[in-house]
Amino acid sequence: MSIRHSATHLTRSLATRSPRPAAGLLGTNGFQKSCMATVTPPVTQNEVGKQGPTAMVFMNMGGPSTTDEVGDFLSRLFADGDLIPLGPLQSYLGPLISRRRTPKIQKQYAAIGGGSPIRKWSEHQCEEMCKLLDEMSPETAPHKPYVAFRYANPLTEHMYEQLLKDGFGKGRGGRAVAFTQYPQYSCSTTGSSLNELWKWRNRLEGKRATGETNPDGAITWSVIDRWPTHPGLVEAFAQNIEAKLAEYPEERRKDVVILFSAHSLPMSVVNRGDPYPSEVAATVHAVMHRLGHSQPYRLCWQSQVGPSAWLGAQTSDTVKQYVARGHTDLILVPIAFTSDHIETLYELDLEVIEEDAKGHPGVKRAESLNGSPAFIKALADIAHAHLKSGESSSRQMHLRCQGCNSERCLEQKKFFAGEQAKILPTVK
C-alpha cells in the first residue's frame, strides 16, 4: 500500500508428506477453504533422512483485494506504529485518518481494476517456489506455501492459525521459514512484519513460545530477512529492463535514462539508522553492474506525503524535471517491490507517466517481477541457501538501529536469535 495513497498516507499454509495442499491453501478464496479442511495429522520431523515438511511463509504488506476491504486495510495500516509513528495519539489519529482516506483510496483501487493484485502474485510466487524447492531440497520437503500479510487478508494471525491446524506447533514441533518479500530491509516493513509474527506466536503458542514449557513443541522459526543483491533478483530486474529497452529505436537506446523508484521513508526513520536506503542503493548498483552500466541512471523515491521531511528526490518531480530538460526517454523501474500493486499500477502508471509525463511515449515502466521465471528461481535459490545454512537469520538482523528505543524490536530480535539453538543445517 502506498504510503502516499494511505497515509496522507503515512500521516499515510501438511503436514502430510504427500500432496501439497497449496491450491487449497492459496487459491482464490483458498484460505477460507483450507480453514474448513479435514484436520491433517501432526507433522513428524524425526523420520530418518527427513526434516520436512517445511512451512514457507511469504511476508508482505498486502493490499485490499476488493474495494470493500480498503477500510479495514487502512485501519490496520494506520494503527501500526512501526510504519506510521503517530505517537501517543496513534489509537485516536489512526482511525480518524483511515476513515477520512477510505473513499479516495477506494477510487484509486477501482481505477486499477477493483483491488490489489498482490495476493494473487504472492500466492503464485510462493506456490511455484515451493515446487522448485521440493526438487532442490528433498530433505526438507514437502515445502508448504503460506502467505502472511501485515494489513490485508490473509493476516499474520490467520496464517499462524492455519499452521497450527495443519499440524505444526502446539507440542508437535515443525519448522517454518518467514521469508520477507521486501528485498531490502526496513524496520517499517520487514521489521513490522516480524514484530507481528513474534506477537502472534506468543499469543497462539502460549508459554511454549517463551521456553517456559517444552520449547521443542513449538514451531521453530527462521527468517530470510533481506536479499537486496542476490544474483537471481538482480538478473530478474535486469531482464525486465532489457526487455523494455528493446522497445526503443536502436539509435536512441543508449541514451535512455533508467529511473529506479523505491518507496520513500520519513527522514526521522532514515536518521534513526534504518538500513533500507543503503540496501536499495545496493540493489540499484548491482542491477546496473549486471547491465554493464550501459545507461545513465538515478535512484528516486516515491509515495512521500505530509509536511515532514522525506527521503528524496521524489519520483514524480524527477520525471517532470527530466522531461522538461528534454530527457523524454525514461524507464521507471520499481526496485523495491516484487509484484504489481497500487504504487506501480496507480502511482507510477497513472499519476507519474500519464499525468506528470503527460503520457509521453518515451516514458515507460519496466514490468514488475510478478510471474518472472527468473525471479521465482531466485526465490527458490535464496530459500534453498537459507535452509542449507542452518542460520536463524542474517547476522545483520540482530543489530538494532542506532536510534532504536523500541522494546518490541529488542524482544523480537532476541526471540529470533534464540531460535538458532534449535536449527541444524539440513542440506549439504
C-alpha span between 129 and 45 (Å, rounded): 21
Choose, from 80, 158, 381, 384, the residue flagged as catalytic: 381
Distance from C-alpha of 359 to C-alpha of 349, rounded to nearest angstrom? 9
Q: What span, in angstroms and rounded, lies between the C-alpha atoms of 192 and 200?
A: 12
Which range of residues in 258-266, 304-312, 341-349, 399-407 is near ligand FES by CB under 6 A? Answer: 399-407
CA 266 – CA 56 distance, rounded (Å): 31
Using CB under 6 A as the binding rule, whether residue 199 contacts ligand FES is answered as no
Shortest Å, Cβ 400 to ligand FES: 4
Cα separation, 296 vs 263, whole angstroms: 21
Q: Which of 5, 230, 263, 341 is catalytic?
A: 230
Closer of 23 and 401 to ligand FES (Cβ): 401
Binding track over 234-273 against ligand FES, x by CB under 6 A = --------------------------------------x-
Is the CB of 244 or the CB of 272 nearer to ligand FES?
272
If one asks whether residue 192 binds ligand FES (CB under 6 A), the answer comes out as no
Task: Please report, as a single letter, which amino acid is at residue 218.
Answer: A
Of 202-210, 306-314, 383-391, 398-406: span binding ligand FES (CB under 6 A): 398-406
Strand partners for 146: 57
Distance CA 101, CA 94 (A): 11
With CB under 6 A, what is the number of residues at the site for ligand FES?
A: 8
DSSP string, 262-304: EE--BHHHHHHT-SHHHHHHHHHHHHHHHTTT-S-EEEEEE--
Q: Note whether 401 binds ligand FES by CB under 6 A.
A: yes
Sheet strands (E) in 188-231: 220-224
| Dist. CA 419–CA 397, nearest whole Å | 13
Compute the least distance from the CB of residue 215 to ligand FES, in Å: 25
CB nearer to ligand FES: give 90 or 295.
90
Specify whether 82 is catalytic: no
Q: Tell me how far, at minimum, the Cβ of 140 lies from ligand FES, in Å.
A: 29
Is the Cβ–Cβ distance between 146 and 55 less than 8 Å? yes
Segment 130-189, which members bind ligand FES (CB under 6 A)?
187
- Residues serving a catalytic function are 230, 381
Sites of contact with ligand FES (CB under 6 A): 187, 191, 272, 400-401, 404, 406, 409
